Structure 1
């Protein structure tokens, strides 16, 4: 109380307030009973009003002769929790201390200074919306020149003169498109032979390994299964000890995640086993092994892309309402079709707990809309309308 600068005339009220609270709280000495109830079992334990000692409170003013516009309450400090306060027994108000100020002989300025004619400089930041508009501004041109010099100094490409008789835009024999994002590369195009040559070229300059999942895990002679997951999976069972070799489990799950790029039929169950990378147990390892047994029985399953003559974008979504038994979170599933072919699919655990199946479905629809917008933007970058 000394540290909080509580006035000494309030210390007695602080002690009474502490006693009041202690007598109305469960005590370990009395095996969880309340002292006040043990002392006075005939008296009911009234509810303690939600007031904090020292807080600001207002007491109703019953002074006779007040008109309709006069204040009806007095601002006070709440200190009397130990006994009920009445109108005549109001908490003490904050004391007022008067201190005379020294008189100054210099006159004070009674008028505001005249307004200044200077106005702040207005800055307008405009981002160019096209290449032609950016060329009109010298700063944009300087920034582009600096970026080009940096790319040339790093050897990003080699500038060559295009032959006069060759059209650079059209490629009758087919094209190969490389979409690069940091260290991820997506190869696509209409020239199958060119795609294979590109892959061979990358193998000559980078280390590319084949993932022999069955051979590495010793499941070449394992019994195949028809489904990648049991009807009632036991992955939610918390019993059992944590695996000694966590790295082996994480490595297997990481390879299964890579396999989902061409095997969307195992996306959901792979996402399920990937939730236990921190503390994997034997039931989680058995669930991952079952996925390999399913892959062994259906090694040729994959995606079939057909030429349907249109680039219509379609999206489908679904949700596993409260599928996670540990936190009751749902799992969203969405698929995006381009020209009648599946191009993206996602199985993602929702961050919020849906209160109904309709809410879980709406969250899944939002994820699907995001995927469709991403596919549309990618088509725009490739020049497709």
Structure 2
């Protein structure tokens, strides 16, 4: 049995309904709880359970955002961000009410819990919450117009899923024109179910695209290890090493080969967690063509 607790909201999951009932009775006797029955709404996330699996979305939350910012009747956009768009902290004019932008970005960040396709766009927007400009607000409004086209879109987790982890790691080298830092992106699947994803600017500047890819691999490996710890707590153990796909063969070679010392001595030690986990058999690195990683 597992409990997910956020302040005074509790979600209980388990394989023994009698044990769950005993737990609820104990909690009610101790704290006086209110039993809301089977899962259907939790922290703004709507859940629909069937024999086929679990579907989660944030339709109500999305519609509330659209209504608050006046986009209920807006023309939908096909993508959350314009292809090739590069935001800057210097272009445009400063906003008179920056708190409006900050509030919107905060709401969009929470929406990425069920909408992984807006993660990159929101990551770009979140870099400018300190001093937002009108160009940043326009980009945020495009995300809203994209959401207008599919407010109920979410995630589906089938009831019968293969007990296997696999991930995809990628990076966008020197994509930030102001700092020349790269962006890490990854997604991890449990069977066919997407369970973890992230887009984040790397902490340091990478001297090559291979180094940026290797740093992205290191971040992905750390997430895989955390997921394995979580699965172990739930008494679930994958039968094989986690397959990790990357479209940079040199980055894979760094992770598998201890001979590249001269070329990689400037990379921080913490990045070499990839080598350690390959050696331990936790992950298995695989090459994948770049065109097959494009969503």
Conserved 8 A contact 1:234-1:283: no
2:126 corresponds to 1:258: no
Corresponding residue number in structure 1 for 2:138: 286
CA deviations on 1:276-319 (whole Å, 9 max, x unpaired) are 01000000000000000001112232222124442111111000
Q: Which residue of 40, 47, 67 maps to 1:196? A: 40
Residues 234, 309 of structure 1: CA spacing in aligned structure 2 closer, same or farther, 3 A cutoff? closer
Residues 178, 261 of structure 1: CA spacing in aligned structure 2 closer, same or farther, 3 A cutoff? same
Inter-partner Cα distance in structure 2 for 1:361 and 1:196: 40
SS of 1:334 mapped into structure 2: strand
Corresponding residue number in structure 2 for 1:371: 223
Inter-partner Cα distance in structure 1 for 2:9 and 2:176: 31
Residue 251 of structure 1: CA displacement? 0.4
Corresponding residue number in structure 2 for 1:178: 3
What TM-score comes out, normalization by structure 1 length? 0.48
The answer to which structure has the higher helix fraction is: 2
SS of 1:347 mapped into structure 2: strand
Conserved 8 A contact 1:308-1:340: no
Conserved 8 A contact 1:263-1:301: yes
Query: Relative contact order (C-alpha < 8 Å, sep 6+): which is higher?
Result: 2
Residues 307, 226 of structure 1: CA spacing in aligned structure 2 closer, same or farther, 3 A cutoff? same
Unaligned runs of at least 5 residues, structure 1: 1-174, 201-208
Q: CA RMSD in A?
A: 2.8
Residue 234 of structure 1: CA displacement? 4.7
Corresponding residue number in structure 2 for 1:351: 203
CA deviations on 1:233-256 (whole Å, 9 max, x unpaired) are 252261333111111110000000
Inter-partner Cα distance in structure 2 for 1:378 and 1:179: 13
Corresponding residue number in structure 2 for 1:149: none
Residue 198 of structure 1: CA displacement? 7.8
The answer to which structure has the higher strand fraction is: 2
> Greater CA radius of gyration, 1 or 2?
1
Inter-partner Cα distance in structure 2 for 1:181 and 1:369: 27
Moved over 6 A (4+): 181-187, 197-200
Inter-partner Cα distance in structure 1 for 2:138 and 2:155: 27
Conserved 8 A contact 1:241-1:281: yes
